[in-house]
Amino acid sequence: MNSLNTLLPLLSSIISFFLAILLFRRYAARKGPHLLLWGIGMTFYGIGGFCEAYFGALGWNSLIFRLWYLCGALLVAAWLGQGTVYLLVKRRWANVLMAILLLASLYGAYRVFTAELDPGLMTASVHTGSELSGSAIVTSGVRMLTPFFNLYGTVTLVGGAVWSAWIFFRKRVLLHRTIGNILIAAGALAPAFGGAFSRFGFPGALYIGELVGAVLMFIGFIRATTPMQAKADQSATQSAAD
Amino acid sequence: MLRASPNKLGIPELVRRTWAMADRRDQGSHRREYPPVYEKLVPIALGIIAVIIVVLLLVVLAVMLGLFPGS
ipTM of the shown complex: 0.70
B34/A172 CB distance under 8 A: yes
The reported pLDDT for the residue numbered B35 is 85
The reported pLDDT for the residue numbered A241 is 45
CATH number, domain containing residue A66: 1.20.1070
A193 contacts on B by Cβ (under 8 Å): 52, 56
Residue of B nearest to A145 (CA): B64
Residue A7 resides in a domain: yes
Q: At what angle do helices A145-171 and A175-199 cross, to 10 degrees?
A: 150
Residue A236 resides in a domain: no
pLDDT for residue A79 is more than 90: yes
The reported pLDDT for the residue numbered A128 is 55
Tell me, yes or no, if B68 comes closer than 8 A to chain A by beta carbon. yes
A162/B71 CB distance under 8 A: no
Tell me, yes or no, if A192 comes closer than 8 A to chain B by beta carbon. yes
Q: How far apart are CA A9 and CA A211, in angstroms?
A: 7
> Which tops the pLDDT comparison, B7 or B17?
B17
Same domain, B28 and B2: yes
Residue B25 distance to chain A (closest CA, Å): 16
The reported pLDDT for the residue numbered A10 is 93
Q: How far apart are CA A68 and CA A38, in angstroms?
A: 18
A179/B38 CB distance under 8 A: yes
Average pLDDT over residues A192-202: 77
Residue A240 resides in a domain: no
φ, ψ of residue A117 to 5 degrees: the values are: -120, 150
pLDDT for residue A41 is more than 90: yes
The number of domains in chain B is 2
Tell me, yes or no, if B62 comes closer than 8 A to chain A by beta carbon. no
B43 contacts on A by Cβ (under 8 Å): 169
pLDDT for residue A236 is more than 50: no
The number of domains in chain A is 1
Domain hosting B62: range is: 34-71
Residue A59 resides in a domain: yes
Average pLDDT over residues A62-87: 92
Of the candidates B53, B64, B70, which has its C-beta nearest A127's C-beta?
B70
> Is pTM, for the whole model, over 0.90?
no
pLDDT for residue A239 is more than 50: no
3-state secondary structure of A117: strand
3-state secondary structure of A91: helix
Domain hosting A218: range is: 2-228
Within chain A, residue ranges assigned H as helices are 2-30, 33-58, 62-67, 76-88, 91-114, 121-124, 145-171, 175-199, 205-224, 228-241
Average pLDDT over residues A24-49: 93
Average pLDDT over residues B41-46: 90
The reported pLDDT for the residue numbered B7 is 55
Residue of B nearest to A134 (CA): B71
